[in-house]
Amino acid sequence: MKGLILCAGRGTRMQPFSHTTPKTLLPVANRPLLQYCIEKLYRVGISEIGVVINPQQKSIAEFLARFDFPGTIKIIKQTRPLGIANAVQKAKSFLQGDPFVLLLGDNLLCEELHPLVQAFQGQDAALMLSRVDNPREYGIAEIRDGQIVSLEEKPAAPKSELAVIGAYVFTPAIFTAIAALKPSARGEYEITDAIQALIQKGCSVSFAVTDKPYSDVGTLERWILANRWMLDKSHGSRVEIGQNSLIENCTIKGPVLIGDNCRLQNAEIGPYVSVQDGVTLQSCKIADSICLEGSTINGIEGKIEQSVLGRSTILHGGGETKKVTFMLGDHSQVALPKKQKE
């Protein structure tokens, strides 16, 4: 069995951060989303992985070249954003007739892939599902006798509460279904249409249901939320401090993850804060936020919450509000006016 991770999306909802970094390399708890996908595949015994990228995403290729992986990773190029099914079709020669696990590179799953792979045994395909409170906003599976019998995107009258969450296993039969597809109304070749075609041909499509957190990290709000629950999972209430980081006169409430070569002075940090390497936090209060590499906060009076500071961002000054939120792209500089003395 091989693995396939799709990373060629444009990430327009993650701007300004996706202007400088592909969204699959954006960090959650200081690790790129793509790394979580690779490690999850490896834990179910998959050591041959294809990663589909846009040719302009050179930073993904550079990351993979540096990544210490005991198997093989092949880069596959999708020059035009024509949908998930099209990206899968581009990987046909790499997959060479083997069954494969398909992951979306901007999806973060707390669930391991073992239940999905087990559900696939003896089937033509298997999907990971999760119960949702608002099924009208998802692709919903209709279940009968332990099999998926239909899929419907954002149904007006949902036939279940089980949503498709971006983890699949396929046999090569999926390529026959993809070859017969026509573009959807949004001009893309949809994987849900290909799965529906499998079902209509009489193929067996099974499923595994997870009750663990997952997220399509496709918006800034979801990015912060994913960072929060991944810190919860990996650190509990623990504080981790990297090498050569200076901590002076700080109150830190975990979970907090601090990288290497950071400088933290006279600050209140946490909970749910991830700090990458080379960050400076001085005379500030920050919680439920992400500080990317080399960013600086100095002398902010209001408590910073649910914020993301891009690489090498500088934020300093005063501010008279009790709480503030920032979404600052890489190399931004913001100076807040200091509170005037009466």
Q: How many CB atoms lie within 10 A of CB 121?
A: 9
Q: What is the pLDDT of residue 214?
A: 85
Greater pLDDT, 89 or 321: 89
For residue 320, pLDDT over 70 is answered with no
Average per-residue pLDDT in the chain? 90
Q: Give CA–CA dist 320/246, Å, rounded.
A: 28
Q: What is the pLDDT of residue 342?
A: 52
CATH code of residue 142: 3.90.550.10
Q: Give CA–CA dist 258/280, Å, rounded.
A: 11
Q: What is the pLDDT of residue 12?
A: 66
Residue 194 is assigned to a structural domain of this protein: yes
| Domain end among 187, 220, 253 | 220
Q: What is the pLDDT of residue 158?
A: 86
pLDDT tens digits for 75-131? 999 888 888 999 999 999 999 999 999 999 988 898 999 999 999 999 999 999 999
Q: What is the pLDDT of residue 185?
A: 82
Q: What is the pLDDT of residue 20?
A: 76
For residue 171, pLDDT over 80 is answered with yes
| Domain end among 220, 253, 274 | 220
- Which of 245, 248, 319, 300 lies closest to 275, judged by CA? 245
Q: What is the pLDDT of residue 301?
A: 82
- The least confident of 69-83, 129-143, 297-311, 320-334 is 320-334
Residue 231 is assigned to a structural domain of this protein: no
- Residue 241's domain comprises 236-336
CATH code of residue 273: 2.160.10.10
Query: Do residues 262 and 163 share a domain?
Result: no
Predicted confidence band of residue 33 (pLDDT cuts 50, 70, 90): very high
Query: Do residues 282 and 178 share a domain?
Result: no
First to last CA, the chain: 70
Give every CB contact of residue 43 below 8 A, 6+ residues apart in sequence. 112, 113, 114
The predicted model gives 21-49 an average pLDDT of: 93
For residue 284, pLDDT over 80 is answered with yes
Query: Do residues 156 and 262 share a domain?
Result: no
Query: Do residues 152 and 263 share a domain?
Result: no
For residue 21, pLDDT over 90 is answered with no
Q: How many CB atoms lie within 10 A of CB 18?
A: 19
Residue 228 is assigned to a structural domain of this protein: no
pLDDT tens digits for 205-216? 999 999 988 887
Residue 320 is assigned to a structural domain of this protein: yes
Q: Give CA–CA dist 31/292, Å, rounded.
A: 11
Domain count, the chain: 2
Q: What is the pLDDT of residue 338?
A: 66
Cβ 82 vs Cβ 37: under 8 Å: no
Residue 200 is assigned to a structural domain of this protein: yes
Q: What is the pLDDT of residue 213?
A: 84
H helix and E strand count, the chain: 9, 30
Q: What is the pLDDT of residue 262?
A: 97
172-206 in b/e burial notation, b at 16+ Cβ within 10 A? ebbbebbeebeeeeeebbbbbbbbbbbbeeebebb
The predicted model gives 230-252 an average pLDDT of: 94
Query: Do residues 259 and 141 share a domain?
Result: no
Residue 43 is assigned to a structural domain of this protein: yes
Query: Do residues 190 and 240 share a domain?
Result: no
Query: Do residues 268 and 149 share a domain?
Result: no
For residue 247, pLDDT over 80 is answered with yes
Rg of the chain over Cα atoms, rounded to whole angstroms, equals: 22
Query: Do residues 180 and 244 share a domain?
Result: no
Query: Do residues 95 and 131 share a domain?
Result: yes
Tell me what percent of the residues of the chain surpass a pLDDT of 90.
62
For residue 340, pLDDT over 60 is answered with no
Query: Do residues 159 and 49 share a domain?
Result: yes
Residue 177 is assigned to a structural domain of this protein: yes
Listed as own residue / partner, the contacts of 132-141 with beta carbons closer than 8 Å and 24 or more positions apart are 132/161, 132/162, 132/163, 133/161, 135/160, 135/161, 135/162, 135/163, 138/163, 138/164, 139/163, 139/164, 139/192, 140/164, 141/207
Residue 101 is assigned to a structural domain of this protein: yes
Query: Do residues 310 and 259 share a domain?
Result: yes
- The least confident of 11-20, 88-97, 221-230, 293-302 is 11-20
Global pTM reads 0.90
Q: What is the pLDDT of residue 209?
A: 95
Q: What is the pLDDT of residue 146?
A: 86
For residue 63, pLDDT over 70 is answered with yes
The predicted model gives 246-270 an average pLDDT of: 96
Q: Give CA–CA dist 46/73, Å, rounded.
A: 11
| Domain end among 179, 194, 220 | 220
Cβ 223 vs Cβ 217: under 8 Å: yes
Query: Do residues 186 and 299 share a domain?
Result: no
